């Protein structure tokens, strides 16, 4: 580097270092911490507040805060007030998530830990929680292994497995579109298992794969993949991207007119994605894990009204409910076991059915024994361009599926729990 007074010339090394730092930009993130009193029960939240999953994380946080207020209004957990200790896990850095999990458990002494939206981060946190023997509730990371091959006695999951989602929607796609599918799959744990799930669900019904592309997470331009998909001439293009990637791929597919030539479909779709799409791109056949506009569900109206109050008029999404159900799961476990002992609480949750005002779905939801996976209703349907009575009523439920009918059996999940002696 030379310094000639008025100007300093940086050298190539500086430029390259700068590039490396720029690449690290999304990883560095400030953390948030809630101060607390000594006699409270702390629930650690290790979930994204920044990055790709910030919007989903925020909605889960809204649900969690609602649950905490409800629990405290009824006297807290075992008579003690509940507080959240919230950390930003980032959206994609497992290292940060693990570090935050250790901090929450070791320094903040939390009795429960919640997280994560990103499947890979959820699995990483689960391993830490298992090592420390702390109850861990995964609100919204879907990859199968969390309550499958890598399941733990202390790890409970509210959202569905990818295989369950695939089983729920596959029949509808085959019926409405046809049997030849082309997959567009995000290239990480969640995408891989979701595609595998869709393939096996389709195979049972005679469906075939005519092609598949793995797209890097954070892809903005999907045109090259869409060109390939079109060339393969499938009956349906199965879009498995989520979040911002999901918005981008759907928006571009519809701009290219592919929704008029093929059927666009996928497994999981979220209200957050529909809200980010222009009306003409709200198309396809999908499964929702929870929906705010269901008839005759106990407590739902109150839940929607309370969410609107807290979010400036927005309706709850599946994420809001995931956060809500996760925190209530902790309180219910303690109440059921009448103890904060992790093993006792985990035992109390085996086969435990959530009360209707917390399950907020027609057939209720329970934690399957031996797997710790919540078995809820799933909602197969299609988006609508504009909500009729409410601008955020963007999904039409065609069929409410029972989780028991589409969940893989306990043997199929390959979950083997290793309980402490």
Catalog residues that contact another protein under the rule CB under 8 A: 1, 3-12, 14-16, 18-19, 21-23, 25-26, 50-52, 54-55, 57-58, 187, 213-216, 218-221, 223-228, 230-231, 243-244, 247-248, 251-252, 255-258, 272-273, 275-281
Q: With respect to another protein, which residue has the nearer C-beta, 214 or 369?
A: 214
Q: How far is the CB of 33 from another protein (least distance, A)?
A: 17
CA 348 to chain centre: 25
Min. distance of Cβ 394 from another protein in angstroms? 11
- Closest contact distance (angstroms) between CB of 388 and another protein is 19
Q: How far apart are CA 64 and CA 51, in angstroms?
A: 20
**Which of residues 187 and 341 has its CB atom nearest to another protein in the complex?**
187
Number of Cα atoms under 13 Å in the Cβ half of residue 157: 28
Where b means 16+ CB within 10 Å and e means fewer, 122-160 reads bbbbbbbbbebebbbbbbbbbbbbbbbebbbbbbbbbbb
Q: What is the largest CA-CA distance in the chain?
A: 76
Closest separation between CB of residue 105 and another protein, Å? 27
CB of 209 to another protein, least distance (A): 15
User: 218 vs 370, which CB is nearer to another protein?
Assistant: 218
Q: Which is nearer to another protein, 64 or 155 (CB)?
A: 64
Helix-then-strand count for the chain, H and E = 16, 16
Q: Residue 265 to residues 136, 240, 260, 290, 394: CA-CA distances in angstroms? A: 33, 9, 13, 18, 16
Per DSSP, helices labelled H in 86-144 are 94-106, 119-132
**Which residue, 239 or 281, has its beta carbon nearer to another protein?**
281
Contact 100, 31 (CB under 8 A): yes
Nearest approach, Cβ of residue 294 and another protein (Å):
22
Q: Return the number of the residue (9 or 107) whose C-beta is nearest another protein.
A: 9
């Amino acid at each position: 580097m030379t310094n000639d007074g008025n100007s300093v010339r940086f050298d190539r090394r500086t430029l390259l270092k700068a590039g490396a730092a720029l690449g690290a930009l999304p990883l560095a993130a400030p953390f948030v911490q809630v101060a607390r009193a000594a006699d409270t029960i702390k629930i650690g939240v290790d979930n994204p507040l920044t990055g790709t999953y910030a919007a989903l994380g925020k909605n889960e946080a809204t649900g969690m805060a609602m649950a905490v207020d409800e629990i405290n209004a009824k006297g807290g957990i075992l008579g003690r007030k509940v507080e959240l200790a919230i950390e930003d896990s980032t959206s994609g850095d497992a290292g940060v998530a693990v570090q935050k999990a250790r901090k929450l458990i070791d320094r903040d002494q939390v009795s429960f830990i919640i997280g994560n939206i990103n499947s890979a981060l959820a699995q990483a946190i689960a391993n830490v929680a298992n090592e420390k023997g702390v109850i861990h509730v995964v609100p919204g990371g879907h990859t199968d292994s969390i309550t499958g091959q890598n399941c733990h006695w202390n790890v409970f999951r509210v959202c569905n497995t990818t295989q369950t989602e695939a089983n729920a929607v596959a029949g509808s796609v085959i019926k409405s579109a046809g049997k030849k599918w082309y997959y567009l799959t995000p290239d990480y744990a969640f995408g891989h298992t979701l595609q595998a799930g869709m393939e096996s669900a389709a195979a049972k019904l005679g469906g075939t794969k005519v092609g598949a592309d793995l797209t890097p997470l954070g892809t903005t331009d999907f045109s090259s993949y869409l060109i390939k998909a079109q060339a393969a001439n499938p009956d349906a293009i199965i879009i498995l991207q989520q979040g911002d990637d999901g918005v981008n791929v759907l928006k571009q597919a519809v701009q290219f007119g592919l929704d008029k030539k093929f059927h666009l479909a996928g497994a999981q779709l979220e209200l957050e994605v529909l809200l980010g799409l222009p009306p003409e791109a709200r198309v396809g056949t999908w499964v929702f894990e929870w929906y705010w506009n269901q008839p005759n569900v106990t407590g739902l109206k109150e839940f929607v009204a309370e969410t609107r109050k807290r979010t400036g008029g927005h309706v709850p999404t599946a994420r809001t409910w995931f956060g809500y159900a996760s925190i209530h799961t902790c309180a219910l476990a303690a109440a059921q076991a009448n103890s904060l002992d992790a093993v006792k609480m985990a035992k109390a949750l085996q086969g435990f059915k959530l009360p209707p005002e917390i399950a907020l779905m027609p057939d209720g939801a329970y934690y399957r024994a031996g797997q710790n996976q919540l078995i809820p209703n799933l909602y197969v349907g299609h988006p609508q361009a504009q909500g009729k009575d409410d601008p955020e009523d963007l999904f039409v439920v065609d069929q409410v599926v029972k989780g028991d009918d589409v969940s893989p059996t306990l043997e199929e999940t390959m979950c083997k729990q290793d309980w402490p002696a």
